[in-house]
Structure 1
Amino acid sequence: MTAADHRPAAFFDVDNTLTRGTAIFRFLVYWYAAQGRPPHEAVHARQRLKAMTVAGVSRRETSRAYFRLLTGASDVEITRLAGAWFLAEVAGGGFFHEPVLEALRAHRGDGYRVVLVSGSFSAVLLPLVEHIGAHHLLCTEPEVDPVSGTYTGRLPDHPHQPMIGSAKAAAVRELPPPHRIDLASSVAYGDHISDAPMLALTGRAVIVGDDPHLRRLGAHHGWHRLPKAPAPLAVPLPEPKPTPPGALL
Structure 2
Amino acid sequence: MPEQGALAPASTDAALPRVVLFDFDGVLIRGDSFYLFMRERYRRSPWRCALALLCSPLLLLLRPFSRRGPMHTLVRIALLGLDERRYQTAAGAFAATLARRPKQFCRDGLQALRRHQLQGDRVIVVTGCEHTLASGILQQLGLTDLEVLASQLRPGWLGMRLLRHNVGRRKVQSLAERGVEAWQLAYGDSMYDAPMLKLAAEAVLVNGTPTLCKKMERALGRAVTRVEWF
| TM-score interval, normalised by the smaller of the two chains | 0.7 to 0.9
Q: Report if the CA contact (8 A) 2:152-2:162 is conserved.
A: no
Q: Report if the CA contact (8 A) 1:28-1:42 is conserved.
A: no
- When the two structures are aligned, how many residues end up with a matched partner? 212
**2:4 paired residue number:** none
After superposition, give the CA deviation of every residue in 1:168-205 in whole Å (9 maximum; x if it has no partner): 1222233345xxx852xx21111110110001111111
Q: Which is richer in strand? A: 2
| SS of alignment partner, residue 120 of structure 2 | coil
Unmatched tracts of structure 2, length 5 or more: 1-8
Which of the pair has the greater relative contact order for Cα pairs under 8 Å at 6+ separation? 1
Matched, 1:170 2:173: yes
Residues 113 and 138 (structure 1), Cα distance of their counterparts in 2 relative to 1, 3 Å cut: same
After superposition, give the CA deviation of every residue in 1:111-156 in whole Å (9 maximum; x if it has no partner): 11121111111221121232322521111111114xx7x734342x
Residues 174 and 22 (structure 1), Cα distance of their counterparts in 2 relative to 1, 3 Å cut: same
Q: CA deviation at 1:44?
A: 6.9
User: TM-score if structure 1 supplies the norm length?
Assistant: 0.70
Q: Report if the CA contact (8 A) 2:52-2:74 is conserved.
A: no
Match of 2:27 among 17, 30, 36: 17
**1:232 paired residue number:** none
| SS of alignment partner, residue 203 of structure 1 | strand
Q: CA deviation at 1:21?
A: 0.8
Unmatched tracts of structure 1, length 5 or more: 156-160, 230-249
Q: CA deviation at 1:26?
A: 0.7
Q: Report if the CA contact (8 A) 1:10-1:115 is conserved.
A: yes
| SS of alignment partner, residue 127 of structure 1 | helix
Q: Report if the CA contact (8 A) 2:96-2:137 is conserved.
A: no
Match of 1:204 among 170, 181, 202: 202
Q: Which is richer in helix? A: 2
After superposition, give the CA deviation of every residue in 1:20-65 in whole Å (9 maximum; x if it has no partner): 011011111222344x4289669979x99x9799847366x56644
Q: Report if the CA contact (8 A) 1:17-1:100 is conserved.
A: yes
Q: CA deviation at 1:104?
A: 0.8
Bigger Rg, structure 1 or 2? 2
User: TM-score if structure 2 supplies the norm length?
Assistant: 0.75
Q: CA deviation at 1:84?
A: 1.9
Query: Identity rate of aligned residues, in percent?
Result: 22
Q: CA deviation at 1:4?
A: 3.7
Matched, 1:85 2:94: yes
Structure 1 stretches of 4+ with a deviation exceeding 6 A read 38-45, 50-54
Residues 128 and 9 (structure 1), Cα distance of their counterparts in 2 relative to 1, 3 Å cut: farther
**1:107 paired residue number:** 116
**1:240 paired residue number:** none
Matched, 1:30 2:40: yes
Q: Following the alignment from structure 1 to structure 2, what is the Cα–Cα distance between the partners of residues 5 and 52?
A: 56
